[in-house]
Structure 1
Amino acid sequence: MPKIAIIISSTREARFADKPTQWFASIAKTRTDLEFEIVDLRDFPLPFFNEVASNLYAPSQNEVAQRWQQKVAEFDGYVFVTAEYNHGPTGVLKNALDYSYPEWNKKPAAFVGYGSVGAARAIEQLRQIAVELQMAPIRTAVHIQGADFFAVWQQGKDLNELTYLEPGVQGMLEELAWWAKALKTARESTPETAPVSG
C-alpha cells in the first residue's frame, strides 16, 4: 500500500497549520488504499542549506539532514500543508525541499493551502519546485481561503463544519491515490538509474 507523508510546512510557535493538518488527516485516514503519516518540520530543525552540494551529488554531512532524507525516502507521495508568506511558500519548507533530491524523485505531490487566498500563489511556486525535484504535482489542490480561513483562525469555527470543502479533498485524494500507485509500480519495475538534474 502506498505510504503518504502529510508534511506540516510551518514551524512558528503561533502557527495555524495544526488545524488544517488534523482536519485533512482525519479525512485522508478513512481511505483503505493509502497509508498516511504526519511529518512535522519542527522535528527536523534543519539549518539553512550549507552543504557542499545537493545530496544528488554529495552525501550531506549534517545529521539532521541525513535523518530528514531517510524520512523523506520512506514515502511514496507527499501532501504539503502550507501557508503563504508574501506570495510564496514558507522558508523552512523551501529549505527542507532543498535538503533532499533523489528521495523526492518520481513521486506525486499534493497541496493543502490556507490563508486569504488559500495559499494559491505559494502552491503555484511549489508546483514548479516539485517539477525540478522530479515529483509529479497533481492538478487538484485544497484551498482554505477567505471567509472560511478567517472564521476558523479568528472566530473559532471548526473546519469539520465546512462540509462543502470535503468533495475537493476527496477529489484530490483520488488523484493522489492514482499517481502514487502508478508511480510506485513504475519505480519498482524500473532498474535504478542516476537522477537527471535540470
Structure 2
Amino acid sequence: MTGWLRIAMITGSTRAGRFGPLVADWFGGRIGRRRDLELDRIDLATAGLPDQLTEPGEEVPAPVRELGARLAAADAFVVVTPEYNQSFPAAVKNAIDWFDAEWAAKPVSIVAYCRDAEGGQAAAQLRQVFGELNAVPIRRTMTIRNAWQRFGADGSWPRRDPELEESVNAVLDQLTWWANALRVARTASPFVQ
C-alpha cells in the first residue's frame, strides 16, 4: 500500500520529574525521519482522562471522546512507557481500558525504559493486555536499560549507540509492515467495525 501511515505514540509516564518525554522525543524524532509515517503524539500527563470508567450507556467525558477520535484515526500505536515495579504505570492501563474498538486490528509496539531493571516486564504485560483487545502486539519492542545514563539533559544521546539505532529501525520496519497489512485487512473484513 502506498501513502503515509498515522502512528499514535503514547507517552505513559505521568509522574513529576518524569523521563518519558525525553524518550518520546527521541523515538518520535526517529519516526519523523521516515517519509511513510505521520506522528500523532499523545501524552497521558495532559490527556485529562478520568480515573473512573463510565457505566455502559453513560455519557463519555470530553477528554475520552477527543482521545478516542485520535486513536481511531491511527493505523498503528507505539507506547513509550517506564517500567515501575516490574510492570507499566496505572495511567497506561487506564488509557487502554477507556477504549476498545479503537485498538482492534491495529499493530502495537512498546518502547520500555527503566533505570536498573531488565525492562522487559512492562512490554510483556502490555502485549497480553493489547492482545485481549484484538490489537496486534508486534514481536519487535524496544527496551532501553539504564535510560537515565544514555540520554543527555536535552534528550539527545550522549554517545552514538548503533545497536539502539538498529533496533529503532527494526521496530519501525515491522510496525509499518503490520500497519499496511492490517489497514488492508480492516477495509476488507466485517470483523472490525
Give the 5 Å matches for 1:47-62.
47-53=50-56, 58=57, 60-62=59-61
Q: Work out the CA distance in 1 between the residues paired with 2:118 and 2:42.
A: 21
Of stretches 62-71 and 12-21 in structure 1, the one that deviates more from structure 2 is: 62-71
Q: Say which of 136, 158, 161 aligns to 2:159.
A: 161
Conservation of the 8 A alpha-carbon contact between 1:76 and 1:108: yes
- State the superposition RMSD in angstroms: 2.1
Residues 162 and 141 of structure 1, relative CA distance in 2, 3 Å threshold:
farther
> What amino acid is aligned across from residue 101 of structure 1 in structure 2?
D
2:108 is the counterpart of 1:109: yes
Conserved in 2, the CA contact under 8 Å of 1:2 and 1:184?
no
More helix by share: 1
1:21 corresponding residue in structure 2: 24
> Could you list the runs of 4 or more consecutive aligned residues of structure 1 that deviate by over 4 angstroms after TM superposition?
153-157
Q: What aligned pairs does 1:79-158 form with structure 2 within 5 A after superposition?
A: 79-115=78-114, 116-117=116-117, 119-146=119-146, 149-152=147-150, 158=156
Q: CA deviation at 1:192?
A: 5.8
SS of the counterpart of 1:18?
helix
Give, in angstroms, the shift of residue 118 of structure 1: 5.4
TM-score, normalised with respect to structure 1: 0.86
Q: State the 1:186 CA deviation.
A: 0.8
TM value normalised by structure 2: 0.88
Letter in 1 for 2:166: P
Greater shift, 128-137 or 159-168, is seen at 159-168
**1:50 deviation in Å?**
2.7
Call closer, same or farther: CA 1:59–1:182 in 2, change over 3 Å: farther
Shift of 1:31: 1.0
Question: Do the aligned partners of 1:117 and 1:143 also contact (CA within 8 Å) in 2?
Answer: no
State the shift of 1:142 in Å: 1.2
Q: In structure 2, how many angstroms separate the alpha carbons of the residues matched to 1:80 and 1:34? A: 16
Residues 9 and 93 in structure 1, CA contact (< 8 A), matched pair in contact too: yes
Could you tell me how far 1:61 is from its partner in structure 2? 2.3
Output the CA distance in 1 between the equivalents of 2:155 and 2:184: 41
